[in-house]
A and B are shown apart, each in its own frame.
Chain A
Amino acid sequence: MSNKKLRRAGLSKDITERLAVNNVFTCKDFLSKNNLELLKLLGLGYYSLQNVVKTCCKACVPEPVTALELLERRKSKNFFKTTLPDLDIVLHGGIPMGTVTEIAGPSGCGKTQFCVMLSVVATLPANMGSLDGCVMYIDTESAFSAERLVQVAQCKYPEYFSQEDSLLQLTRSIFVDVQQTCSSLIKRLTSLEEEIISKKIKLIVVDSIASLVRKEYSGSGGKSLIDRTNFLSQQAAILKYLAEVFCIPVVVTNQITTRFGQNPTPSDLEEGGEIVPETDSGYVTAALGNTWSHNVNTRLILQYLEGQKRQVLVAKSPVAPFTSFTYTIQDTGIVQEVDGAGHYHGTDPGIQNIRVRLSLPLEYATKK
């Protein structure tokens, strides 16, 4: 990492000391200086300086691997099954390990349900084709329900969870951490590494990434949107680092927002089966904007269809085409419907339209 101290970088003691006098302690400090500054600080000749720079670079350069080695390394464990059969097929086997996957959708659409279900699946033993590990569930909305967790587990895998023991085991291996502010969240993420190792964490869930930043940062007053972008990018870099180094999947959820102007052309709306928004110019899409969209590797969008049915869209993925599946939320968690799988004509995942529940169905209203 960048904070590698220069005295471990293999430079001679003399040089390290001379740099330390000038407040250059880490490789990061060193490489931020230009050649002229370094010449001045070190009083070395040009060629010797080149060698010093090279030594320093060698200390913090990542080791190159060929794609073939990478493939072999990933062969055994590369995807985490979502247990939605068709979704797993198009994603080449599930959520890719070592990357950040985002689930975006309107409220009540099943984002938390999805996360709870994934948490249950992740704790299953390896002989059931799963990760056999613990889950770090970072909850910013206080939406996690342990009761629901147990219910999903019992309904989804009645045989395995028939004994008390396995249920106890399940509840013990999911760690829920409630974070209420952005700064505490980032602190939590930076210190997460220790726990990943000590607790054998195999899945990180952040539910949701959006709620805190949307609360603390706003365009007018308080912290600005530029700060928000910086914060999100930093968060993404940490999550990606954790995912990759420990080869685990990271799942984050995102909220939706309404955007105005420049919405997709009417033909998109018809073909894609998207909503025709009530207002003329507004349309609903994933929150946190364009820069954040770059930061996720895979984006799944949940949206409402008619009645109990909802739909999951693969909106951004390095491996999968634009596909959609219908699902319902039942006792066992998210259940994929037999029919309703298909392709849709996708567009920029940053502006992909999301269908929301416009009003309560009449029957519910009259029943009351």
Chain B
Amino acid sequence: MQSQRTLSTFPIAPVHKTKLCAAGFLTVEDLKDIKPSGLSKETGIGLEECLEIIKLVNDDTTKKSTVKSAFDILQQEQTLPPIITFSEQIDAMLGGGVPLCKITEFCGAPGIGKTQMCMQLSVDVQIPECFGGLDGEVVYIDTEGSFIVERLVDITTATIQHCQQISQMESDDETKSSMSEFTAEKVLSRIHYYRCHDYVELLATVHLLPDFIKDHPKVRLVVVDSIAFHFRYDFDDFSLRTRLLTSMAQSFIKLATEYKIAVVLTQMTTKVKHGGSSQLVPALGESWGHASTVRVILYWEGQQRYAWLYKSPSKKESTVPYQVTMGGIRDIVDSHDCDKTENNLQQPAKRQRVT
């Protein structure tokens, strides 16, 4: 079948296409066993271009079958642990945490903790393998400028403390050695931070990400905080906006599956008039909703933060409360317990001593 594929379906420049067509080269079969020099002679296309055309056609037709059995996928899914969030309830809701090879999106109101979630995940993905982590590196693309390193240091310190507590319980040598390597400095040095000031920079960064990841094969998480910001202004042409966004989504999906990376995006909310009342909805509209595989909406209800699993291929829709503490994202714990265990990691909501 492949040999009957017409050449016009390949990404060949139109000029060359017409020349090929005029010389009678219509299908893949016509190009079989022909040398670049021969092709050049017959069509009048330059030698280098001919070589490229032949290479392109061969590459495309000899590509391995992409069909995998569900068994293979199941095995793959089981060998790749998800990234935990440090909130057991959110983890349970997501099926263990933020999955690799997928795009997960967090939408939410301002100040709800989207950036905090991103920072938390950036640290958690680096937890050594003996603690069930991924020991991976992070690419953090910041479009809003809300990445405050001091805050990241807070979260890192809390995470390391947590791991230390676990390692003290175990007497295993391996655990101890990996614990000694798991330092704040190392964690910080493995977060690669891009600051994009407009959407063109963002597009360029996304284009070049595969190269960066080839150089840094340990990258397990790509964060974009937020995907929407630069697409909210300066756009008269909405079809262009949609196209750029979908092509970016496509690159992320490719990246995620090819390199087994978790892609985490955040998106802000905007207000739309719905009937008589106005409602908060994700800013990039309905069509963008297809881009992410897992979508979590973070929202306030009174003074309580909630995470709502809005879309997921494997888990059912549910809502859980969470809080943002000094140490990062945590479960809600009974406030009476907290007062007793002052030094516990799970301190009450973001409470800091005020002198």
Residues of A within 8 A of B (CB): 1-2, 27-28, 31-32, 34-36, 39-40, 42-49, 53-54, 56-62, 64-71, 74, 78, 86, 89-90, 92, 96, 98-100, 229-231, 233-234, 237, 240-241, 243-244, 261-262, 264-265, 267-268, 271-272, 289-291, 293-297, 299, 315-316, 318-323, 341-343, 345-351
Contact = CB atoms under 8 A, between A and B. Distances in A.
Contacts of B195: 62, 244
Interface in B204-234: 204-205, 207-208, 211-212, 226, 229-230, 232-234
A43 B149 contact: no
Count chain B CB atoms within 10 A of each CB in A1, A58, A233, A265 and give the residue with the most. A233
Contacts, number: 230
Contacts of B14: 39-40, 43
Interface residues of B, number: 80
Contact of A2 (B109, B149, B192, B200): B200
B324 to A, nearest CB: 8
B194 A64 contact: yes
Contacts of A45: 12-13, 16, 49, 52-53, 56
Given A66-B192, A347-B303, A321 B208 contact: no
B119 to A, nearest CB: 9
Given A47-B56, A230-B233, A319 B12 contact: no
| Residue of A34, A47, A61 with highest tally of chain B CB at under 10 A | A61
Nearest to A78: B150
Interface string B147-180: 0111111100000000000000000000000000
Contacts of B185: 68
12 contacts: A31-B204, A40-B13, A43-B16, A44-B13, A49-B11, A67-B188, A78-B150, A98-B145, A231-B233, A268-B302, A320-B352, A350-B110
A268 B138 CA distance: 39
Interface of B: 10-16, 49, 52-53, 55-56, 109-112, 115-116, 139-140, 144-146, 148-154, 185, 187-201, 203-205, 207-208, 211-212, 226, 229-230, 232-234, 240, 243-244, 247, 268-271, 277, 280, 283, 300, 302-303, 326, 349-352, 354-355
B234 A62 contact: no
Given A319-B151, A323-B354, A347 B300 contact: yes
A65, A71, A99, A342: most-surrounded residue (chain B CB, <10 A): A71
A318 B302 contact: no
A74 B52 contact: no
Ordered nearest first, which 3 A-B pairs have the shortest CB separation? Answer: A321-B350, A2-B200, A45-B52
Given A319-B148, A319-B150, 18 more contacts: A2-B201, A34-B243, A36-B11, A39-B13, A45-B12, A45-B13, A45-B52, A49-B11, A54-B207, A57-B203, A57-B208, A66-B188, A67-B188, A241-B197, A293-B111, A297-B145, A321-B351, A343-B351
A67 B149 contact: yes
Contact of B196 (A27, A35, A43, A62): A62
Nearest to A93: B150
Contacts of A89: 354-355
